[in-house]
Amino acid sequence: MAGSFVAVRGKPRSSPKRSGGGGADPPLSLAMPTVADLHKTAELEKFLVEAGLYEGEEESAKREEVLREIDQIVKEWVKKVTIQKGYSEQMVKEANAVLFTFGSYRLGVHGPGADIDALCIGPSYVKREEEFFVTLYGALSEMEEVTELQPVPDAHVPVMKFKFRGLPIDLLYASVSLLVIPPDFDISQGSVLCDVDEATVRSLNGCRVADQILRLVPNAEIFRKTLRCLKYWAQRRGVYSNVTGLLGGVSWALLVARVCQLYPNAVPSMLVSRFFRVFTQWQWPNPVMLCAIENDDNLGFAVWDPRKNPRDRSHVMPIITPAYPCMNSSYNVSTSTLRVIMEQFQFGNKICQEIELNKASWSSLFEPFQFFEAYTRYLVVDIVADDDDDLRLWKGWIESRLRQLTLKIERDTKGMLQCHPNPCEYADPSIQCAHCAFYMGLSRKEGMKIRGQKFDIRGTVDEFMHEIGMYTQWKSGMDLAVTHVRKKEIPLYVFEQGCQKTRPPTPICAEQQDQSDKNDSEVCTTTASLVDQLKQKYHSVGGADVDSFKSVRRASVSPACEEASIQLHDDANFGLTNCSTSPHGSEGSTVSGNSCAAVGTIGLVDETSLPGCLMPNVENDPIRTILEQAPSESVVEKDERKLEGIESLASSNCTEFMEVAEVVAGTILTENGDIRLSGHEVI
């Protein structure tokens, strides 16, 4: 069956008792579907098929074949390692590895082109660091079938990413405390966690959690259809991304599974509607749990428990995995990203109410979120490398730490300046250089407009850039720029094809700007010059040794900006100041540079004052979660309450990229939304 390929599958265990954190609650409704519900479900399934969410038989067969080949590769690899370590012929003969799948493929909700999450389990003497990321990596790198091979040993869950015959694979490895892996290895047994480290536990739990989810839902097939629908919705609305602090695949599966438990007889159309109804009213940080949290004193791994673990008390949207050791799958979610998620839940709830009243169709639910129309200011992270392979490594490192920038801004502004990370990456098709960019929307927390108050995050961005600079696999050509743009300065290529703008899609430079923006022209440039400036410094290094060059690799050679000012539509001054020396340059190096990060004060419109825009109302609850807390029944009983919809802000004009900045020397948000990017003191 698609999604359940396993080299060996153990005997299923009985389903654990559901209790705690909502898991013990009886279903909210045992109602059977009506004729209208069945009709809406048929319409929904037809929409998903027409949207291309199901792969064909040929691609499914290819996946099975690729998995068989990888299974054979890891078996041969373990035997070779066994020979190299000098074990007996009998040990070599018995040497074995097994391959399990997890994630969307194991759950049976993958679509065309989706990656395959796979776990290789090997014997105790075949280690992750020495063998998996060295000898197996070397073997894969020599195969013609393997492309885009990328080891990520330092990830929270160490992984080897690659494509095999064009299919993307995420391969994990777990070395268990057995000398020989039996052909009937049962991954569901708790004994597999004996004498292993936490990274191995996290690797093993991908499969264990997927199996538990399928055991705990009332109807696996209805669960799959509902999850496929809501994953697609989350991707369209820009809230599907664990790495950027939104919700990943496991979290979405757990949320859908919980709704299936609450409405065990419902069909997909009913479950989609109830999903939004329940979670728009869920009292976070109360945890979502499918079953009781198990403790095993013999194994001794920490489980999610805010009563005992201080770190767990800071989780704002806990969604707990059902397999021991139970963990929070959504620990990456921050106050800012919770706001974004809840805003989209409210949107989904409004549309589903209209669908139930026959006032809207399913296509309305899946309208893409207009990210570049929702904010007036954006932080932009531009990434450049010499080739695609280097870009893949460099981008992976930076993307995995973008969440930290959001958290640091929240921390340093006490949650009053909020960030909305866009999980999509963008690249200018007119530029041949290997590059991409990530965007983050900026907004002031609702109700936090205090006259005269300023937020200085210069040190915040400096700290983030310093952490990025600690990348151990950095190579010449890898570069980074963090800067800001106004909504009208967003480059045209990031917009979806067919999106209508209020100006013709022509590059806007100094002589073409409105008279009111003419003094801002010194930060207007083409995207090609952005890459040129990022690259230019490498030609000025000369004979500098690698170490001294590496220490200043983000020093910009942008020309000094002349002082100027401009009056914006919201009466905020935009003042350019002289560029400052990069704080990331090496003091002992003879190579130095300046950073010019589009410096000046920039007006940020208070979104809360704009018509047609409902800003999120999620507040940070000062009362920390305790394990026994569950959503109040009185809250769920109000699930018929209607909420206002979410509407995008009006679109506006866009220009070419602003002048590249190697390092943001500082950002300040004042009471009228001014942002200053400068290395100078705040006035």
Q: What is the pLDDT of residues 108-137, one digit of tens each?
A: 999 998 999 999 999 999 999 999 999 999
Is 115 a residue of the active site?
A: yes
User: Could you tell me the two tokens for 71?
Assistant: 């299974």
Smallest Cα–Cα separation from 288: which of 255, 326, 335?
255
How many Å from the N-terminal Cα to the C-terminal Cα in the chain?
Answer: 65
Domain 24-53+217-369, second-level architecture: Orthogonal Bundle (1.10)
* pLDDT score of 482 more than 90: no
What pLDDT sits at residue 639?
A: 38
**How many angstroms separate the CA atoms of 221 and 268, rounded?**
10
Over residues 249-253, mean pLDDT:
96
User: Could you tell me the two tokens for 642?
Assistant: 């209607």
Cα dihedral 419, 496, 492, 398 in deg (nearest 10): 40
* pLDDT score of 54 more than 60: yes
**How many angstroms separate the CA atoms of 586 and 593, rounded?**
10
Angle, in degrees to the nearest 10, between helices 249-262 and 198-216: 30
Please give the mean pLDDT across all residues of the chain: 74
**How many angstroms separate the CA atoms of 443 and 420, rounded?**
8
Tally of CB atoms within 10 A around 662 = 30
What pLDDT sits at residue 451?
A: 60
- Judged by average pLDDT, the poorest of 129-133, 480-484, 497-501 is 497-501
From the candidates 25, 115, 462, 639, give the one annotated as an active-site residue: 115
**How many angstroms separate the CA atoms of 483 and 677, rounded?**
8
Helix (H, G, I), strand (E, B) or coil at 134: helix
What pLDDT sits at residue 659?
A: 31
The residues spanned by each domain of the chain are 24-53+217-369, 54-216, 371-448+455-497
- 8 A C-beta contact, residue 82 and residue 100: no
Is 62 a residue of the active site?
A: no
From the candidates 173, 240, 324, 378, give the one annotated as an active-site residue: 240
Q: Between residues 533 and 268, which one has the greater pLDDT?
A: 268
Is 571 a residue of the active site?
A: no
From the candidates 37, 117, 606, 674, give the one annotated as an active-site residue: 117
Smallest Cα–Cα separation from 456: which of 609, 560, 601?
601
Helix (H, G, I), strand (E, B) or coil at 255: helix
What pLDDT sits at residue 493?
A: 86
- 8 A C-beta contact, residue 649 and residue 607: yes
From the candidates 40, 104, 445, 520, give the one annotated as an active-site residue: 104
What pLDDT sits at residue 452?
A: 56
Task: Please state whether 238 falls in left (phi above 0), alpha (psi between -120 and 50) or beta.
Answer: left
Is 550 a residue of the active site?
A: no
Which helix or strand (DSSP H or E) is residue 668 part of? strand 668-669
Q: Classify burial at 91, counting beta carbons within 10 Å of its beta carbon; exposed 0-12, middle 13-18, buried 19 or more.
A: middle
**How many angstroms separate the CA atoms of 316 and 333, rounded?**
7
Is 240 a residue of the active site?
A: yes
What pLDDT sits at residue 109?
A: 95
User: Could you tell me the two tokens for 333?
Assistant: 């979610």
**Winning range, highest mean pLDDT, from 75-79, 407-411, 500-504, 652-656:** 75-79
Helix (H, G, I), strand (E, B) or coil at 481: strand
Over residues 661-674, mean pLDDT:
32
Q: Tell the CATH superfamily of the 54-216 domain.
A: Beta Polymerase, domain 2 (3.30.460.10)
Is 104 a residue of the active site?
A: yes
Percent of the chain with pLDDT over 70: 67
Q: Is the dihedral of CA 238, 243, 249, 255 positive or negative?
A: negative
Over residues 15-39, mean pLDDT:
73
What pLDDT sits at residue 449?
A: 62
Helix (H, G, I), strand (E, B) or coil at 476: coil
From the candidates 40, 75, 225, 231, give the one annotated as an active-site residue: 231
Q: Classify burial at 359, counting beta carbons within 10 Å of its beta carbon; exposed 0-12, middle 13-18, buried 19 or more.
A: exposed
Over residues 357-362, mean pLDDT:
95
* pLDDT score of 678 more than 50: no
Beta-bridge partner residues of 146? 164
Over residues 258-287, mean pLDDT:
97
Domain 371-448+455-497, second-level architecture: 2-Layer Sandwich (3.30)
**How many angstroms separate the CA atoms of 132 and 203, rounded?**
13
What pLDDT sits at residue 638?
A: 39
From the candidates 170, 382, 390, 606, give the one annotated as an active-site residue: 170
Q: What is the pLDDT of residues 198-207, one digit of tens each?
A: 999 999 999 9
**pTM, to two decimals:** 0.74
Q: What is the pLDDT of residues 530-571, one digit of tens each?
A: 445 444 433 333 333 323 222 223 332 222 232 222 222 332
Q: What is the pLDDT of residues 621-632, one digit of tens each?
A: 322 322 233 334
* pLDDT score of 196 more than 50: yes
Identify the residue whose tokens are 């018929």. Answer: 640
